[in-house]
Structure 1
Amino acid sequence: MKSRRISLCAIAAFLIGTSGPLLAAEQIPDPAVQDKRSSNGAAALYLEHCSSCHGVARLGGQGPALLPESLGRLGKKVAEEVIAHGRAATQMPGFADRLSTEQITALAELVYTPLPSTPNWTMADIEASRIFNEGGAALPHKPVFSADPLNLFVVVESGDHHVTILDGDRFEPIHRFPSRYALHGGPKFSGDGRYVFFGSRDGWITKYDLYNLTTVAEARAGINLRNIALSSDGRYVAAANYLPHSLVILDAADLKPLKVIPTTDRAGKKSSRVSAVYDARPRGSFIVALKDIPELWEVSYRDDAKPIYRGLVHSYETGMIEGVAEPGKFGARRIALDQPLDDFFFDPDYRHLLGSGRDAGKAVVVHLDVGRPIATIDIPGLPHLGSGITWTWQGRPVMATPNLKEGSLSIIDMQDWSVIKRIETAGPGFFLRSHENTPYAWADVFFGPNKDVMHVIDKNTLEIVATLRPEPGKTFAHAEFTRDGRFVLVSLWEQDGAVIVYDAATFKEVKRLPMVKPSGKYNVFNKINLSDGTSH
């Protein structure tokens, strides 16, 4: 594997366990770092201790980017602790023995200072970052282990930035390896289950060979990334960026960048962060939600995609009304909305999309074929539609969604878009999971004082039939089923956490595997077959 070595960093947040190339755009000093008006010396401290690893411009290198967008979940006080005392299981040392309390506070303030302008990240920057294993094509086309390759779980351990590959039959780890800093959004799997693609908050995309337990390719698609999607034909990866404001298309074979699409409005004047990108399998397209512009985009990846018409204009030369066309493949079809969307969910045939905004109190239904909203659904709080699931209830297709602000689950009729029932829970939840071979759905209570419980809901009666609390006071979240639906794996979401295996029929604990803050678990079979009970 090609790589270039750079010096170990000396300060600031978390460090990943793998090294990466120093990137061209990071050679340009950031005015926010070199602000001469600063009287606390933070700029000089940063350049002396941090820049060799986190980049002169704070855009990252061997260590993660030190920007408010990248560190939002960390918090300034925790950042100060990391600067002072280091971070376990990383290359981050502590500096309490050489920096004063005031200096540490000043550095924490500096890394939470926004950049003076939105940084750019070009095709050339992406290509310069790319690391490709030239020998990947010669690797064996069968697993190097005896476990069922379709019943593997990919477990993201966010506490120390590692990934564990878990045998879903024996519930034993097969392999554990360091990941990029703060993997963000669910991993995506190739159709045969051999490859998994990860996206990190720092914009790194990693292609990993599950058969041979090795990294095939990496590339940095942006500076701050929201999530990634893999096309249904396995040819393309789409990366949704917060920084810069862009959608990036890469070749899934080697992560070579193919196109950077600036996410701007029709006039090209206002730009937007990308809230989310997902693959719409039957449509042969990526669906893209923009966080700052009230538009939904459909970006086709089909070779035979017809030109996208973005409007009609009158031609004074011909007297005809003519369409203004954009290139078909990777062209953006724009759907106007009343407000930007933060998250969304497809119905089973991918004709409709349910979307929600940050403070909406409702969901909007968009008909993708006709290209416009057709209904709204009143849902108090903030539905987390990306974690929704579907099943058939009394002969009708229904969708259920947790709520990030309200202690409830909403059950929605997907024929008339009415709310069938609102199930009261012990608090706001983040994840909802089920499986076609079980009558139950598992819903966590991620936020608030009851974060240590998991509700089990009967999908027929729409009632809570059990509430589990394995470790009082500790966060208990994110259920995922085995490929046959017989067992459920749930995270004890703590530094000294675990993956707890339950019998899906009796709700009895079967096994407990110690792990470091296991944030998500993803079953290969369920993901590639679009199980009714898991996110897509």
Structure 2
Amino acid sequence: MAERRTRNWDGYLIGALVGVVIALGVWAFADWASTTPEEVSTTIAADGAADGVAFTGTVTGRPAAEYYLDSCAGCHGTDRRGATGPALLPERLSQPDEYYTDVITNGKPGTVMPPWGHQLSPEDVTTLVAFIRSDTGEGPPQWTLEDIVASHEVLTPESELPASPTHSGAVDNLMLITEREAQSIAVVDGDTHTLLGKIDASYRAHGYTFSPTDERWAYNMGRDGWVFKIDLYSLQPVAKVRIGLDSRSVAMSDDGKYLIAGNYVPATAVILDAETLQPLKVLQTTAANPEGEIIESRVATILDTAPDLVGPYFLVALKEAGQVWRIDWSQPDFPVTAVSNVGHILHDGFLSQDNRFFYLAAQTDNWMAAIDVTEMKVVERIETGATPHPGSGATWEADGTSYAATVHAGEGKVTIWDLDGNQIVGAVETPGPGLFIRSSEHSPYVWADSVFAEEPHFVTVLEKAPPFEIVGTIEDGVRTLHPEFTADGAFVYVSDWDGNVVRVYDAERLELVAEIPDIVTPTGIFNSSRRSETLGH
């Protein structure tokens, strides 16, 4: 078994553009009546048809409803009733079509609404405007347990795989790079910065996790719900299964036996056998929101704790419900314990170095909730700034003190707090709103993007110790994001989404050392050394 570090804790996934034995103390279990996770998890209600709304237009060659679910629902809600972004319902859209055409094409300065004109034709934008003016239909489509089972496919029998790597790269230092619009994953050797090959994936490969017990296996999930088991020796997928229709998060148990993946549509989390990708359990994420209403909730981030520290648990954040579910994956029935009223519109999160605390963004509350994973209670709400979006987050030690930090999708700021008292100890202004922040125990600096800035090509590099001074700003490129360290912390990779290139920088001198061209719309970058961290996405 690969040795588990207490994380590569100086760093710690991609958000959308842009939360049972119910152990809640005073929670009245009777309110749930017959809707415990055990009872609702045997299947997903409905007939499994992915009909969407009765709108026939297409956007980039795809049904408009499908495009909306993938590209717009993260902020505006799967039912178009709003989340971090406003509701897009016919009765709410009081402006003429020209107004919405301009907003979609050019974005909305001062908000997290990005411009889409660089990837949508005028005809596509016109169709989207017509779509948001259309009736929402009967609700989001469904995807049943039977659909999941039927979708399973073996692509390459494992008996035919090579016994050792067929490429020259170091398996413990591979950079897996999402080619967002190419349905592909580029694989680069983190030692030599050489492109080794590309792996077929599904639409907008989103979540990554790596087996902690076998270096050859990685797992990826696309936003369209397809989960792939990937062989890092031969750089090919060996099996796939579709767990939902619009999906975001995936994590793996520390013993390498189980995967868990979360959906936006339908509102479910699915536990899979990691060896075969066969589904073991489906949990319908129906829960009470902070106002006490029972709702179907999208799944935000999912993490796995290290059993030698805390656990063994999966942590599942329910976006609209504002709950976190703790799933004990060591028990055959996967029992669930929940904490409620964490916040509104939960998103990304990360763990403290000892795994005791789960730090989770409540985006419309503008805070990071600190959850005691053992006690399952909220111990602090850290008001960090407008729309926190930590991605994988960043935690590190400096001069005997442990720190954590997040960037914000609503303002250009890195907020830093100490992990002992959960008090803010620093704030660093950046060129604009960002999505991702990352660091490494092997590097003295923290890197943060500003992908939502007016000029979205800045990466801010700051010191780990107070007063957290900025040591440099990377300005190369067109639209840059998602800094990721190599396994040894010597280099940082940065995607240039619109430039179709990934740049490599010396992590200490901040000098450009390589460019890797012909990477199509690169976004998320994930180093294979993450297998020794406690990660989710």
User: Aligned pair 1:455/2:477, yes or no?
Assistant: no
CA distance in 1, matches of 2:402, 2:52: 54
User: Aligned pair 1:192/2:192, yes or no?
Assistant: no
Residues 299 and 329 in structure 1, CA contact (< 8 A), matched pair in contact too: no
Structure 1 unaligned segments of length 5 or more: list them: 1-24, 34-41, 59-63, 82-95, 306-327
User: Aligned pair 1:292/2:324, yes or no?
Assistant: no
Q: Aligned pair in 2 of structure 1 residues 425, 121: CA closer, same or farther (>3 Å)?
A: same
**Aligned mate of 2:488, from 473, 484, 490:** 484
Letter in structure 1 aligned against 2:258: Y
Letter in structure 2 aligned against 1:505: E
Residues 344 and 386 in structure 1, CA contact (< 8 A), matched pair in contact too: yes
**Aligned mate of 2:406, from 401, 404, 408:** 401
User: Aligned pair 1:410/2:415, yes or no?
Assistant: yes
Structure 2 unaligned segments of length 5 or more: list them: 1-45, 77-99, 106-120
State the 1:200 CA deviation: 1.0
Letter in structure 2 aligned against 1:70: D
Structure 1 SS opposite 2:501:
strand
Residues 208 and 218 in structure 2, CA contact (< 8 A), matched pair in contact too: no
User: Aligned pair 1:504/2:516, yes or no?
Assistant: no
**Aligned mate of 1:123, from 141, 145, 169:** 145
User: Aligned pair 1:229/2:251, yes or no?
Assistant: yes
Output the TM-score relative to the length of structure 1: 0.75
Residues 185 and 199 in structure 2, CA contact (< 8 A), matched pair in contact too: yes
CA offsets, 1:320-378, max 9 Å, x none?
xxxxxxxx631211112253432322111111112221211222211121121112222
CA distance in 2, matches of 1:489, 1:77: 35
Residues 70 and 201 in structure 1, CA contact (< 8 A), matched pair in contact too: yes
User: Aligned pair 1:470/2:476, yes or no?
Assistant: yes
CA distance in 2, matches of 1:27, 1:230: 26
Letter in structure 1 aligned against 2:501: A
The residue number in structure 2 matching 1:276 is 301
CA distance in 2, matches of 1:177, 1:426: 34
Aligned-residue Cα RMSD (Å) equals: 3.2
Instruction: Identify the range of structure 1 (240-249 vs 68-77) with the bigger mean alpha-carbon deviation.
Output: 68-77
Instruction: Identify the range of structure 1 (264-273 vs 286-295) with the bigger mean alpha-carbon deviation.
Output: 264-273
Bigger relative CO (Cα 8 Å, ≥ 6 apart): 2
Query: Map of 1:309-320 to 2, 5 A cutoff?
Result: none
Structure 2 SS opposite 1:353:
strand
CA distance in 2, matches of 1:501, 1:466: 15
User: Aligned pair 1:255/2:277, yes or no?
Assistant: yes
Q: Aligned pair in 2 of structure 1 residues 153, 138: CA closer, same or farther (>3 Å)?
A: same
State the 1:26 CA deviation: 9.1
The residue number in structure 1 matching 2:130 is 109
User: Aligned pair 1:530/2:536, yes or no?
Assistant: no
User: Aligned pair 1:425/2:453, yes or no?
Assistant: no
**Aligned mate of 1:331, from 310, 335, 340:** 335
The residue number in structure 1 matching 2:7 is none
State the 1:108 CA deviation: 7.3
CA offsets, 1:290-321, max 9 Å, x none?
1121321001110xx3xxxxxxxxxxxxxxxx
Could you list the structure 1 runs, at least 4 aligned residues long, displaced by more than 3 angstroms after superposition: 25-32, 73-78, 101-115, 185-191, 266-269
State the 1:207 CA deviation: 0.9
Residues 303 and 350 in structure 2, CA contact (< 8 A), matched pair in contact too: no
The residue number in structure 2 matching 1:350 is 355
Alignment length (residue pairs): 442
State the 1:482 CA deviation: 1.5
CA distance in 1, matches of 2:374, 2:329: 17
The residue number in structure 1 matching 2:286 is 264
The residue number in structure 2 matching 1:173 is 195
Q: Aligned pair in 2 of structure 1 residues 162, 65: CA closer, same or farther (>3 Å)?
A: farther
Output the TM-score relative to the length of structure 2: 0.75
CA offsets, 1:201-224, max 9 Å, x none?
111111111102221111110111
Q: Aligned pair in 2 of structure 1 residues 375, 230: CA closer, same or farther (>3 Å)?
A: same
Q: Aligned pair in 2 of structure 1 residues 134, 200: CA closer, same or farther (>3 Å)?
A: closer
Q: Aligned pair in 2 of structure 1 residues 128, 438: CA closer, same or farther (>3 Å)?
A: same
Residues 275 and 342 in structure 1, CA contact (< 8 A), matched pair in contact too: yes
Q: Which has the larger radius of gyration?
A: 1
Residues 354 and 385 in structure 1, CA contact (< 8 A), matched pair in contact too: no
State the 1:400 CA deviation: 1.5
The residue number in structure 2 matching 1:518 is 522
Residues 251 and 536 in structure 2, CA contact (< 8 A), matched pair in contact too: no
Structure 2 SS opposite 1:507:
coil
CA distance in 2, matches of 1:415, 1:485: 25
CA distance in 2, matches of 1:171, 1:106: 41
Q: Aligned pair in 2 of structure 1 residues 145, 358: CA closer, same or farther (>3 Å)?
A: same
Letter in structure 1 aligned against 2:149: E
The residue number in structure 2 matching 1:204 is 226
